[in-house]
């Protein structure tokens, strides 16, 4: 599947929602893991501000690659952000979207 690097130059990034475990199965509560490392994945809401717009995006990152405390409003550096189109079929209906994944998230709070 195609992976698209995301250019974040000129953007300010803040934590909109603190890290939460990414669930693989909501019914069982099973936490999703990285296929390469087997480490737990986290979802973090990041507010991207710049170029006359502001938008909150859910970004997935390996738990060990989150540095510092990311509370709501914390300035954050997002390293290696990629966008990945996806498509699934649920109950006979096709759904599609874009997921975002970062190599690392680092708190910029002093």
Burial of 13 (0-12, 13-18, 19+ CB in 10 A): buried
The per-residue pLDDT for 3 is 92
Domain-located, residue 89:
no
The per-residue pLDDT for 1 is 62
Domain-located, residue 21:
yes
The per-residue pLDDT for 63 is 97
The per-residue pLDDT for 6 is 95
Domain-located, residue 86:
no
* Rg over CA atoms, the chain: 15
The per-residue pLDDT for 45 is 98
Task: Name the domain count of the chain.
Answer: 1
Q: pLDDT digit of tens for each residue in the chain (110 aa)?
A: 689 999 999 999 999 999 999 999 888 999 999 999 999 999 999 999 999 999 999 999 999 999 999 999 999 999 999 999 999 988 889 999 999 999 999 999 97
Beta bridge partners of 56: 47
Q: What is the value of pTM for the model shown?
A: 0.90
Domain-located, residue 1:
no
Give the structural domain span for 14.
Answer: 10-81+99-107
Domain-located, residue 90:
no
In 1-110, which ranges are E strands? Answer: 4-5, 12-21, 23-25, 30-31, 41-50, 53-62, 66-67, 76-79, 82-90, 93-101, 104-107
């Amino acid at each position: 599947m195609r992976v698209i690097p995301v250019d974040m130059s000129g953007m300010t990034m803040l934590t909109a929602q603190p890290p939460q475990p990414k669930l693989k199965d909501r019914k069982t509560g099973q936490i999703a893991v990285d296929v390469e490392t087997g480490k737990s994945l986290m979802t973090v809401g990041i507010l991207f501000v710049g170029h006359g717009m502001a938008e909150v995006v859910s970004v997935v990152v390996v738990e060990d690659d989150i540095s510092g405390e990311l509370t709501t409003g914390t300035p954050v550096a997002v390293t290696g952000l990629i966008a990945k189109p996806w498509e699934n079929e649920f109950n006979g209906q096709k759904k599609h979207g874009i997921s975002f994944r970062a190599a690392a998230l680092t708190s910029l709070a002093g």
